[in-house]
Amino acid sequence: MNSLKPRLDGMCRKSFQNRMSPKQGPVEAHGLAWQIKQGIRVNSVSPGYVRTEMTAAFSHLTEKWKADIMNHRLAEPDDIRGACVFLASDASSYMTGQDICVDGGVTKW
């Protein structure tokens, strides 16, 4: 799992990425090298706002989050599962060094 934060930060993307999202840097920088050397695909999933026990504590922010999402709903954990299953399957055998945003379109607004 990764974070959408670097994509949402715009100009500060690279500095935040280097400090706060250590997984995304290796995905982009080492994905191809690792694949070539060991036959390992290196990809990640960046979920958007997901309804979980943890996010339930932020119920006062739910309406703002929904306003940021194109379909105006928080993701359910099952919405993220499909991308994870895809990356773990042979259907993604030609992918490496990629980050899949499952964010309801937040990063496209």
pLDDT at residue 82 in the model: 96
For the stretch 67-98, pLDDT in tens is 999 999 999 999 999 999 999 999 999 998 88
Q: How far apart are CA 82 and CA 55, in angstroms?
A: 20
Q: How far apart are CA 42 and CA 30, in angstroms?
A: 8
For the stretch 19-36, pLDDT in tens is 445 555 555 565 567 666
- Entry pTM: 0.69
| CATH numbers and ranges of domains, the chain | 5-108 (3.40.50.720)
Mean pLDDT of 36-45: 82
